[in-house]
Structure 1
Amino acid sequence: MQKKTGPRTPRITIREVASDAGVSVAAVSKVLRDAYGVSEALRAKVQASMEKLNYRPLASARGLRGRTYTIGLLLPDLRNPFFADIFDGVTSALARTQYQAMQGISVTASELVDAMIDRQMDGLILIGPNEMAERISEIAHRVPLVLIGHHEPGDESFDTVNNDDQLGARLVVRHLHANGYRRIAMISLARASTVVSQRELGYRLEMVDHGLGSDTLIIRSTQVLRDVQLAVRRLLESDNRPDAIFCWTDLIAIEAISVATELGVSIPHDVAIVGYDNTMYCDFAQHRLTSVDQSGELLGIQAARLLVERIEGRTAPEHFVVTPRIVARASSAKSSRTSKSGQDR
């Protein structure tokens, strides 16, 4: 038998808050809108009554007054732990404001973007957007917009927050070369994006700079587990097996470590492995994964800052870039095959 629920507690209204605080409804409305000229004494009195009565303004009603104090954060994937770092940064930055972030996950963000705009969210942050330039421009002209992981700003209607992805890939090749590795392969993403394109370019350029252009090898894979495993197996079982593998993200690098371990390939003695993002799993003893730190939390903090500024009226574009760094761990330790004299093999 289904248990009956009691009657719902009536929702506290703005009039009840005004009555409890001994002020007008208009005064409460001004506090809620954070209107200009509201004294600290009035604000404190109204907020005390709101807390006492457990008053929560309806987001829909706030939207009718012009602002809902909600922003949409769109992630392309829930499995990649790097996106959690970005989300932490966004929520940390918004903690000092009235804004709340609503999270959505979608590889193709179009329908979700429209849904968030229809729900009157004040602005959007898109991570690694897989949208055409025309579509991004259209979104930016409908709602304040910040993109994370997008290296083609295109117009001045939105802001971007990026890691210097080309430099990050260069740092990987530079690090591996310094440790004695020469046949350095890269596992990249099958789906094109400006982020992976920049990392591939940095990899190629640095390989050429070190005279390793003929050893350049890029294998592209989806993020489906089986596809990644097959790509890594092909590399490790090839006749001319690379002595180092650079993976475009830690999620792929950790799977590469698993496949190598299963095949009895020693890391880093037989093959070095390097990831990108420096997520928390890199420090695990079974991984000890060298990775590129691009500070996901900082990316999130800056994206939230820029979006709030856009919502508050700034129109001039800003493009914030994080400088990456290599965090070296055991997975790319100095090659034992390098001669003591330091010369190439």
Structure 2
Amino acid sequence: MSIQKIAKLAGVSVATVSRVLNNSDSVKSKNRERVLEAIRESNYQPNLMARQLRTSRSSMILVMVSNIANPFCADVVKGIEEEAEKNGYRILLCNSGSDIERSKSSLGLLSGKMVDGIITMDAFSKLPELTSMIGQTPWVQCAEYADTGDVSCVGISDTDASEFAIRHLIARGCRRIALINHDLSYKYARLREQGYKTVMQEQELGYEAIEYASELSFSAGKAAMEKLLQAAEQPDGVFAVSDTLAAGAMRAIGDTGLKVPQDIAVIGFDGTELAEMVSPQLTTIQQPSRDIGRQAVSLLIKKIDNPESPAERLMMDWHFIVRASA
């Protein structure tokens, strides 16, 4: 299917189709919709190389995530893809695994002008290394972010959210509250731990227990909870920095014959679909994961269109979802 046939099918000029493909603002909304409908009906695939030669743009966005198996990361990527496609972009996905060498390999696409911009979800500690490679390429960081600098970012207040979770456990009578955390090279992990410690010290409960899961997985959450249960003084409440870790913790609790929440209350983080799949259903901090992805794309396109625009830091609302586990 050629661009000429798309124009004939939509009842518009070839120039109008070209402007739609190049995301021009000069097309009337009615004509844009007719062209897009014709493209959908015909399954038209534009010649990306030819477009790149004409416009010096590839209409591709590189998306680098630390772990696509993490349900939160997967949801953010869905939001990124939805918003990118709505604006005429496609994504190239790199599952970096927090491996700086794998990240560097993917960033090689920047030198060849294969992508117009980049969205990352890598650990905060890796950002300085990435900065030198990314250079002046439009860049937005999701979930992990710097308080200052030239990189736009989207996230939530992890400290406020974790403080709220701990206060909820205290309000329901928990006094020995443990934290299951992950890799402290991630800023979110440090901030959620900071929130936990702030409230525990403020309340002077005389108890603090933190276990670090080896990875963000069900089995790692289970193993971390098993260690907490081996202590002389077992927790009566647990806050995990992800729903996946919380689900593993709940399995470990159940395997010992204890009950959630009667013996140990559990709260997770992220608000993924998993929280509704476990039994009892999981109380959790819900992040607006897909909206985080959508907003990241909006910020990136703004930077692509206007490279001189200042960096923006967008802090989004989180919600506390109370279910049976706490």
> Is residue 210 of structure 2 the alignment partner of residue 218 of structure 1?
yes
Flag the 1:33–1:216 CA change in 2: closer, same or farther, 3 A. Answer: same
Separation in 2, partners of 1:271, 1:199: 20
> Is residue 252 of structure 2 the alignment partner of residue 262 of structure 1?
no
Flag the 1:175–1:58 CA change in 2: closer, same or farther, 3 A. Answer: same
Alignment partner, residue 126 of structure 2: 132
Alignment partner, residue 243 of structure 2: 250
| Structure 2 runs not aligned, ≥5 long | none
Matched residues, percent identical?
A: 26
Separation in 1, partners of 2:172, 2:34: 64
Separation in 1, partners of 2:26, 2:271: 46
Separation in 2, partners of 1:75, 1:290: 26
Query: If the length of structure 2 is used for normalisation, what is the TM-score?
Result: 0.85
Separation in 2, partners of 1:199, 1:74: 23
Q: Contact conserved, 2:219 with 2:248, CA < 8 A, in 1?
A: no
Alignment partner, residue 87 of structure 2: 97
Higher mean alpha-carbon deviation, 178-187 vs 259-268, is at 259-268
Query: If the length of structure 1 is used for normalisation, what is the TM-score?
Result: 0.81
Alignment partner, residue 33 of structure 1: 22
Given residue 87 of structure 1, which amino acid in structure 2 is its aligned partner?
V
Q: Which of 172, 176, 183 lines up with 1:183 in the alignment?
A: 176
Separation in 2, partners of 1:317, 1:123: 14
Flag the 1:83–1:117 CA change in 2: closer, same or farther, 3 A. Answer: farther
| Structure 1 runs not aligned, ≥5 long | 1-11, 333-345
> Is residue 297 of structure 2 the alignment partner of residue 304 of structure 1?
yes
- Shift of the alpha carbon at 1:310? 1.1
Residue deviations 1:180-224, cap 9 Å, x none?
001101011135211101101111111112122x31222112116
* Matched residue SS, 1:258: helix
Q: Which of 277, 295, 302 lines up with 1:284 in the alignment?
A: 277
Separation in 1, partners of 2:188, 2:244: 16
Flag the 1:14–1:232 CA change in 2: closer, same or farther, 3 A. Answer: same
> Is residue 77 of structure 2 the alignment partner of residue 87 of structure 1?
yes
Describe how 1:55-134 pairs up with structure 2 within 5 A.
55-64=44-53, 65-107=55-97, 108=99, 109-115=103-109, 118=112, 120-129=114-123, 131-134=125-128
- Shift of the alpha carbon at 1:155? 1.8
Flag the 1:228–1:38 CA change in 2: closer, same or farther, 3 A. Answer: closer
Flag the 1:54–1:229 CA change in 2: closer, same or farther, 3 A. Answer: closer
Q: Contact conserved, 1:293 with 1:327, CA < 8 A, in 2?
A: yes
Separation in 2, partners of 1:152, 1:46: 41
Separation in 1, partners of 2:298, 2:138: 12
Flag the 1:131–1:63 CA change in 2: closer, same or farther, 3 A. Answer: farther
Given residue 91 of structure 2, which amino acid in structure 1 is its aligned partner?
A
CA RMSD of aligned residues (A): 3.1
Separation in 1, partners of 2:12, 2:281: 61
Given residue 306 of structure 1, which amino acid in structure 2 is its aligned partner?
L
Flag the 1:211–1:323 CA change in 2: closer, same or farther, 3 A. Answer: farther
Alignment partner, residue 149 of structure 1: 143
- Shift of the alpha carbon at 1:24? 9.0
Aligned length: 319
Separation in 1, partners of 2:7, 2:277: 55
Flag the 1:22–1:290 CA change in 2: closer, same or farther, 3 A. Answer: closer
Separation in 1, partners of 2:273, 2:174: 26
Separation in 2, partners of 1:267, 1:21: 59
- Shift of the alpha carbon at 1:35? 4.7
Q: Which of 166, 170, 189 lines up with 1:196 in the alignment?
A: 189
